[in-house]
Amino acid sequence: MEARPARTFYRATKRYPPTDKDYVTRQERLGNPPEDIPGEVRKSWDALSFFDSEEALERQIREIPAIGRHMCRYRIPEDVGITWEETTPPGHFDVRGDKEVLKECLVDCVGYVDDV
């Protein structure tokens, strides 16, 4: 059987394996975005934050440790209804779609950042 094309992404989580709380968007947590936030942030309000490399994710964890310190790897097939869009900074992606499907794309934990 031929493997489906997939994209690898990395996400910070507070626990491994991630719990449902690790899959909550700002929209779900805080409601609609405030009127005074930049358009770039507003556009990402309903998405989950992922990175395209372990190095980029580790930099983000060191900058904002509260996002979680577990570095989880996901392989997301192109045909499962999950979408991604590169935003800023380079290597950061907004990921949207069914969270149960996304959970099935979890591969493993590739690291833990504990010296922040």
pLDDT, tens only, 52-81: 999 999 999 999 999 999 999 999 999 999
- Residues of the domain holding 88: 6-112
Mean pLDDT (the chain) is 95
Q: Does residue 36 carry a pLDDT above 70? A: yes
Number of structural domains in the chain:
1
pLDDT at residue number 1: 47
Q: Which residues contact 86 (CB under 8 A, 6 or more apart)?
A: 52, 92, 93
User: Percent of the chain having pLDDT more than 90?
Assistant: 91
